[in-house]
Amino acid sequence: MLEFARWKYIVVAAVTLLALVIAAPNFFGEDIALQVVRKDRAVIDDAGRKSVEDALKAKGVVIKGDYVEGERMVLTFNDVNAQYAARDAVNEALSQTFVSALARAPRAPDFFRKVGLRPMPLGLDLRGGLYLLYQVDINDAVRQLVESYEQDYRRALTTNNIAFADVTSLSDEAGLATGVRVSFAAGANLAAARDVMQKVVTDLTYSINDAGSVPYIDATLTAAQITERQRNAIQLNMNSLRNRVNALGVTEPEVRQQGVDRISVALPGVLNSAEVKDILGRVATLEFRMSDVANNVQDAVSRGRAPVGSRIYYHRDGRPTLLKREIIATGDQLIDARSTATQEGPAVAIRLNAQAGDEMLRITQANLGKPMAVVLIEKTREKAFVNGQEVEREVTKQEVISEATIRGVFSNQFNITGVGQGEAQTLALLMRSGQLAAKQFIVSERPIGPSLGAENIRSGVRALIIGSAALFVFMILYYNLFGVVASLVLAVNVVLLTALLSLMKASLSLPGIAGILLTVGMAVDANVIIYERIREELRNGITPQASIRAGFEKAWTAIWDSNVTTFIAGLVLWVFGTGPIRNFATVLMLGILTSMFTAMLGSRALLTLIYGGAKKPAKLSIG
């Protein structure tokens, strides 16, 4: 008797139905859209949603639909002109609060979106994506290096009890930082000070000038060192951008250098482009400073200047505070950052390197019971009108996100509180992905048109349909009813593969379509092996039911061996390949899994339903 366990029927049916639901969003198409996100990463409430809608209504922009998903507001439109007009309206009226980006939104019913089901994104060669061109301020990288030297010199001279008057940066006629100047009082031991400075930074050129009333030591960078720092800034920014994109789950991004000081970022199949654009462009870092409790902050604010050795900062609610100029640690010294939940609310778990951890340990031991602050520093580019002309200017925002009393000694691991849940996740991502070595600003943003065009998409789909139809016709003509069964499981195989690609959010490119076609061929091959084994058993005089059972059992070894070797080849392609090669390898490996499932379980389930049970068929419709 030909039998198939009931639980296997249930598994096949459940997997097939689930795959149909997951793959369904791919068949509804997409709308052109605009995504809007609050700059503070807070959820857009009804008031925020209405402000965006009012801004578009004031410009006469017609909205096809809109909804809020997570932290993002998605607006859909009937044509590209409305999409661009909406972006301009949001940027003009709400640029202080919101950031917007061009995108595409699934056209599937709201049910699929609410349960988290989306179509698989298409690659650059099929649909395009988002293109961003960044201008990198490579001179800023040199300035940051010089500022770090200033900090090192202050700390080293203070530790060695060498008095100094001031530490300032040097710059050339073009304003490019070139080194550090340390001034001393008359009669200071400049040779001893130089020796201390050389131990801290060994590769600078040091010169002593004691001829004037204010003696000083200059520590300068060579032209080669400046050029190397600028070149490294581009590479470090590119690495940081790649890390941020990868952390956001954007597949197969293209991050490339353009010219001397520009970086282009191409993001295929991006749906969360507003979030991506905001996080990629943010120049954010942290500074840990001790609070100045010896002086009155209100007196400093009223005078308009802070006491020597301190600076005036402001909390997010506008409260002023005095912080010491001495920096305990910065985001550059961070090893890891993760968002977490504490009794005090959302937080960022910080882990510093050994040097910063030692300094934090020293500071906390010496300042128990005193407050320490965390300063968030962000640099952005804003548009303004000067003399009737629109210009861009750099804006540096420094705000205290946390100021708390040191209640225990800690070193390189601690939590930062005072942030919201969304901001904690974003801040952890920015810190973890690496600081930008230099400021960068968007100079161009546009959607990328498919390099192969819509016609190639239609050609790929047409090839899949024609190829599959030809296989179905051949299988039905050659294997009769068994061919119909093979055609059904081949269709299910494509649905399963589409569902897996959608779940993995793997972008589909033209090589991926080739992988789907190859998968269909491999699935046919598995069915052919099984059916020929069944035919062979029938020729040997075995009964029809026994032939079906023997055909599946004896074909298993051959199918397993051939698929495992092909899977290994696909794995090698995935490990050593990039871009389109990886896309092909991903589809190939997933296709192997789905084809084995449909061939060995799907086909057997259908054939057992048709020919199984107590009633024994006299013959099989297998051609």
Tens of pLDDT, residue by residue over 462-474, are 877 887 788 888 8
CB 524 within 8 A of CB 475: yes
CA 588 – CA 580 distance, rounded (Å):
12
Any domain includes 247: no
Mean pLDDT value of segment 104-133: 80
Residues 35, 12, single domain; the answer is no
Residue 186 belongs to what domain range? 139-225
Mean pLDDT value of segment 221-240: 86
The enclosing domain of 50 has a CATH number of: 3.30.70.260
Any domain includes 254: no
Residues 90, 42, single domain; the answer is yes
CA 106 – CA 113 distance, rounded (Å):
8
Residues 422, 496, single domain; the answer is no
Mean pLDDT value of segment 554-570: 88
pLDDT at 36 over 70: yes
Provide the pLDDT confidence category of residue 206 given band limits of 50, 70 and 90: very high
Query: What is the reported pLDDT for 100?
Result: 81
pLDDT at 445 over 60: yes
Residues 219, 313, single domain; the answer is no
pLDDT at 434 over 60: no
pLDDT at 17 over 90: yes
Name the least confident of 89-93, 413-417, 484-488. 413-417
At residue 213's C-alpha, the angle toward residues 211 and 214, to 5°, is 90
Cβ-based neighbours of 209, under 8 Å, separated by 6 or more: 215, 216, 217, 218
Q: Please write the tens of the pLDDT for every residue from 382-425.
A: 666 666 666 666 677 888 888 888 888 888 888 877 677 666 77
**Phi-psi sector, 161: left (phi>0), alpha (psi -120 to 50), beta:** left
Q: Which residues of 340-360 are buried (b: 16+ CB within 10 A; e: fewer)?
A: eeeeeebbbbbebeeebbebb
Any domain includes 39: yes
CB 356 within 8 A of CB 329: yes
Query: What is the reported pLDDT for 351?
Result: 83
Query: What is the reported pLDDT for 474?
Result: 87
Mean pLDDT value of segment 260-264: 88
Mean pLDDT value of segment 340-353: 80
SS3 track for 191-243: HHHHHHHHHHCCCCEEEEECCCCCCEEEEECCHHHHHHHHHHHHHHHHHHHHH
Residues 456, 478, single domain; the answer is yes
Out of 51, 83, 107, pick the residue that ends a domain.
107
Query: How many separate domains does the chain show?
Result: 4
Any domain includes 130: no
Beta strands in 158-204 (DSSP E): 166-171, 177-183
Residues 401, 309, single domain; the answer is yes
Residues 194, 286, single domain; the answer is no
Q: How many other CB atoms are found less than 10 A from the CB of residue 105?
A: 23
Highest mean pLDDT among 10-24, 410-424, 549-563: 10-24
Please indicate whether residue 433 or residue 253 has the higher confidence score (pLDDT). 253
Residues 426, 504, single domain; the answer is no
Any domain includes 265: no
Query: What is the reported pLDDT for 583?
Result: 81
Out of 423, 446, 469, pick the residue that ends a domain.
446
Any domain includes 337: yes
Share above pLDDT 70 across residues of the chain, in percent, rounded to a whole number? 88
Q: Which two tokens stand for residue 189?
A: 């031991």
User: 341: part of which helix (H) or strand (E)?
Assistant: strand 334-342
CA 446 – CA 438 distance, rounded (Å):
23
Out of 428, 446, 464, pick the residue that ends a domain.
446
Query: What is the reported pLDDT for 568?
Result: 92
Mean pLDDT value of segment 520-532: 85
Alpha carbon separation from 74 to 103, 104, 110, 272 (Å, rounded)? 9, 9, 13, 10
Query: What is the reported pLDDT for 392?
Result: 63
pLDDT at 39 over 80: no
Residues 501, 411, single domain; the answer is no
Mean pLDDT value of segment 131-150: 85
SS3 389: strand
Any domain includes 257: no
Q: What mean pLDDT, rounded, does the chain reach?
A: 82
Residues 459, 508, single domain; the answer is yes
Q: Which two tokens stand for residue 17?
A: 């139905």
Provide the pLDDT confidence category of residue 312 given band limits of 50, 70 and 90: very high
**What is the greatest pairwise CA distance in the chain?**
115
Residues 145, 47, single domain; the answer is no
The enclosing domain of 384 has a CATH number of: 3.30.1360.200
Mean pLDDT value of segment 453-460: 66
Type of residue found at 234: I
Q: Which residues of 540-576 are buried (b: 16+ CB within 10 A; e: fewer)?
A: eebbbbbbbbbbbeebbeebeeebeebbeebeebbee
CA 290 – CA 372 distance, rounded (Å):
4
pLDDT at 249 over 60: no
CA 561 – CA 582 distance, rounded (Å):
23
User: 392: part of which helix (H) or strand (E)?
Assistant: strand 389-405
Please indicate whether residue 602 or residue 102 has the higher confidence score (pLDDT). 602
Any domain includes 553: yes
Residues 372, 387, single domain; the answer is yes
Name the least confident of 61-65, 106-110, 576-580, 595-599. 576-580
The enclosing domain of 552 has a CATH number of: 1.20.1640.10
The enclosing domain of 199 has a CATH number of: 3.30.70
Query: What is the reported pLDDT for 154?
Result: 87
What is the sign, positive or negative, of the torsion defined by CA atoms of 347, 352, 358, 363? negative
